[in-house]
Structure formats: structure tokens, C-alpha cells
Amino acid sequence: VVGPLPLPAYHRDVTVPKYGGKLPYHRRPVTGKEYVDINALIQRELKKAPRFLAACCESDGTNLVILTTAPRGFKSGDRVTWFVLFHNVAGTGYYLSPVGLEVLVDHGDLQVSRWQLHKVFYNGRYFASTGDLEREFVAGALEVVRLKQPQADAVLGSMRPRRPPGSPGPLQFEPQGPRYSVRDNRITFQGWSIAFGMSPNTGPRLFDIRYRGERIVYELSLQEALALYGSNCPGGMSTRYLDGSFGIGRFAYELVQGLDCPYTATYVDRHYLAETDTPKTNQNSLCIFEHDSALPLRRHFSDSQSLYYGGLRKNTLVIRTISTLINYDYIWDFMFHGSGAVEVRVHATGYISSSFFHGQGTDYGNRVGPHTLGTMHLHHIHYKVDLDVDGQLNSLETQDMEYEFVKDPWSTQNTIERPYLRRKRLEREDEAAFPLNAPMPRYLSFVSPNPNKWEHPRSYRIQTISFAGKHLPTSSSMERSISWGRYQLAVTRRKEEEPTSTSIYNQNDPWTPTVAFADFINNETITNQDLVAWVTVGFLHVPHAEDVPNTVTVGNGVGFFLRPYNYFNEDPSVDSSDSVYFSSEQDAGACGANPLACLSSAAACAPHLPPFHFGGFLNL
């Protein structure tokens, strides 16, 4: 810790009070220098199998690339990693071109010269060394799948356009400039006020989210992204990536204007310090824009009694960043609606990870190329939501429906199945920990002690949209390191000593986790307390032919809403200056009666777009 900001005068080591002890060095994330040294070791070992490499891959080893897996072993102290080898083709993703060769490297010793290659896997068989692999091949005792060196114009997964550009698509622009403002790290927009930031490890995080001057959320932050794989190859079957250890914010690179975000969005640089003595900048790596969803937020056409139309466009403020974590690209969105709702959403795209197709590979995915198995995996994402609904002291209330069978009041011969509302206050943390994929009350709200005008507690509802896979069995030796994944939602007392649900040190020592979220839940009372909701969303992904070249965002988005529930006395969007209303007695084409009729003059000129610029390759 350094402080006080903005002019630090002291620094102190808080490792022991934060983690309860010193951190073993073997838990450290792998650095770029360590990967360089591992690659050098693998290249030396590959030179011991020249004839095998020439036969299997038309290679001498130098045009093969390695992909790390994690975690690295089976017990605390291990630093033994499977690396999967792929053909490297310039200008395209190598992740779909495995050659069938995988190597196990022990890189735990602090002396690099003592690192060793412990095991080799090829096409379903294990060998003690690359030398043994070569001898088996020379003796004719090894079945080799002979792969041609891929060509850039025909490689599986190439993203190069196959057709010349067509006419430009629709373009969103602001006729009179942005209606939001960005000053330092604070955004204001139509009653909203948000402070934004980016952690190099855990990625995007928002603080002090206010609507109409009242704080709704103290902290809304991404905590972790888990990708857990299955395969009949050792690298794939042992992979459980915890992306916070790699750097969700660190690897959020420059956004492409007009594709990653609207062309005229506001782009913001983000800075971080990692593996260097000086700060680094990912320029234009976060964008802010107002989005017209082309959907009414609300509307009604009255065709009886009086004739009128009333409505409001669903315009939303969006804060977005995109992280490239090895093969996958995660699009992180935070959206702010005119109804007072906050929407959090993540989409997955990028390349699938793959294994070499052999044996019963289709038990673990689908074949997507001549020798490529798209390996099944799950994406589970964890968020921290520190709500302060009408103050810091909140309680948790659930509501759901039941049916009651009653005789209808106007006839004793008949019965009615009448739905009724079942309300319940949850008193303790254990009650508020909802297991993943188990039934959960349809309405779950943080409630204030204070009522609205209609005598209901002012509340905000948490509504999740998720298709999560199954959590790792609790019998697993590494499960406690991702024990946040046990719960689709858990509500705990807020504590300064429980700032995050995981740690960057959990990846390389998941067997003795530095932070175990399960320990946060200890049945404390949650009535009129400062509470935090921890939300897990995700989906199971079984790759298929249409994941080539890339996984598409369609159907691969999950998230949650924070929605006002009796927080206001009516929908706050009624005060929007974008509201539209006209009746049969008015001239709907008159600008004074209908703001939509003003657009033809207000948006008469197309915007002057700045020249396209992208410098994202310059600062890698």
C-alpha cells in the first residue's frame, strides 16, 4: 500500500495481514521471461526428434508454437505444465492447427538450467522424452499422422475476407454531439453518474454508481473468468484457466472504431504496471457511447376511447472493454438504462481451443477440421455487486409464486387456481447462498428499511440470465480455489478483509488457495446490514463446425440486471426529454407536437467522421 494519494509519502507491506501469512513463491503467475525460457527448453528437446518432426509436421520444430495450460501439476509446490504444440501460420490463429504433440515441462526450480521435460504425448501415446519418441519412430513402432505445413490462404480458421468490401452498413451518430460527458474517470448521462476504472488483473470495475443523485451501487466489478476444458489429450483435459492470473485488464487492447464500438464513441486509454519498471498504456482500450437499441423502452398505441400514441426509445449508455485472453475474446459491457436499471453483460468470441483429433475424441467435443477436435468447455464468470439501496443498510427479500385452490366467490360449485405471491425475508448468509443450477426465487431484492410512496420497501432486484455448466465437483482437490462457482448468487456481509472472491495466486496453487470464497459464507445475519451480492453467470460451450473461424457472439452472451423494484414511485423515465406523445387531434408531422418530426432537419447533415486510426499493434 502507498499513500496518501495523490502525493504518496509512505509505503508498507500488507501481505501478511491481507492473506494471513507470507505467500509461497511457487504461487506466482508465469511471466513473459519464464515462457521464453520454457520455449527455449522445448526447442532444444525437439531437436532430438528431427526425423519424427519432418514426417509428422513437415517441420524442424522452429515453426511450431506452444500453448500453455494451467494449473501446473496436482499438489501445492508443483510447477509442471503441459504445453500443446501447433503449426504456426502467419496472419491467422494457430489454435485450430494442433500437430498432436504435447510436452510436460517441470519449471519449478529457481535455476532455469535444472528445468526438465518430463513427458511427451503424441497421438494417444506417452513417451519419457523426445529421444524415446524419435527411437520409436525410427524403429517403425509409431503410427504417425502426416500433416502438411498449412498455407496462409487455406489454413483452417483464417479470418482473411473472402469477398471484396460491399456498401457500408448503417451508421449510428449523434446529430448534435454526445449527450454524455466524461471528465477524468467519471461519466454523467441523463441522471446517471459512474466512476470507472480497470484492474490489470480482474479487469473492468465501476464505483459510486448514482442515479438522480442517489447512490445505488458502491462497487460493481468483474472478479474472475474461468474456462474449464475436457479432452482426451493431456493438455486439454487438465486446463482450468483462471484468467485473472493472466490479466483480464492487462490484455484489454485497443478497440477498433466502427466494429468493436461505434465509430464515434469516446475512447479512453488505460494504464497498468506489470513485468516492467515503467507503466504501460493500452490506448483506446475502453469505450463509452450512447446506444440506440432500435427498440422502444416502453410504448402504447391506443385504439379505443381516445386515440393516441406514447412511447420512449430505449437509449442506453454503454461502457465497454474487450479482453483477449490467449485464444478467447471477452466483450465486457456495463449498460445504464433510462428506467434506472443497470445491465451487465459478457459475450465470448475469438478462437476455440482445440486438441488433436484421435481415438474417442468426440466424447469431448466435435471434430471441426481434418485433425482438429473442438474441445468442450464451460465459461463461468464471477462479479461483485456491492449494492447500497437507499443507504448502506439493506436486507434480502425473495418473492415467488404459488397456486392456491379456492372456491370461486360467486359460485360454490367451481374452484379457481389462483396464483398468489409468497414473500420471504432471508435472515442469514447460508440462506442467501443459492447453488448453481438449482431453483432460485424468481424475484430477489436488496431492500431498504424505508418505503416508497405506496408503502413498499425501496428495493433493487437482481435478475440473472445464465446457462451455466456444472460446477467442478467439491471432491476435487482444486475446487476450493473456484468455490465461488458453487453459487449462482450468494449474499454476504460486506467486509474490508473480503475485497475479492479470488486471487491471482489461485491459478498456480489451486490446492491451497490464497483466497477461498466459500469461507466468506459463515451464516452471519444479513438483516439491516451492508451487503454484497456475488453473482456467477456462464454457459457450456460444445464447439461445432460453425465455431470456425471464430465463435460468434450470437447466443453466447450472459449477464444480469439490477432493476428498480418499488425504489421509485413510478418509472423514472417519464421525465425523459426523449418522450414522444401525439394524439389523433394533433398533427404528428409537426415538429412542435412530435420530436420525431424534427429529425429531418436536426439530422440533415451526415457527421464528419475522423480518419480511421489503429495503433494497437505498436505497443505490444
Annotated catalytic residues are 243, 328
* Cβ–Cβ < 8 Å for 464, 345: no
Cβ-in-10-Å burial (0-12, 13-18, 19+) of 592 comes to: exposed
Helix orientation angle between 50-57 and 130-138, rounded to the nearest 10 degrees: 70
The alpha carbon of 432 is separated from its chain's Cα centroid by a whole number of angstroms, namely 24
Q: What is the CA radius of gyration of the chain?
A: 28
Whether omega for the bond prior to residue 549 falls within 30 degrees of 0, making it cis, is yes
Residue with cell 468442450: 376
**Cell output for 547:** 465455431
Whether omega for the bond prior to residue 178 falls within 30 degrees of 0, making it cis, is no
- Which DSSP category does 127 fall into? E
**CA 216 – CA 209 distance, rounded (Å):** 6
Contacts (Cβ under 8 Å, ≥6 apart) of 444: 396, 397, 398, 461, 462, 489
**Cell output for 57:** 509436421
Cβ-in-10-Å burial (0-12, 13-18, 19+) of 338 comes to: buried
CA distances in angstroms from 489 to 51, 85, 183, 383, 492, listed in the order given: 55, 38, 34, 10, 10
SS3 87: strand
Count of all residues that appear for the chain in the document: 620
Of 30, 67, 32, nearest to 231 (Cα)?
Answer: 67
Contacts (Cβ under 8 Å, ≥6 apart) of 467: 538, 539, 540, 558
**CA 36 – CA 577 distance, rounded (Å):** 57
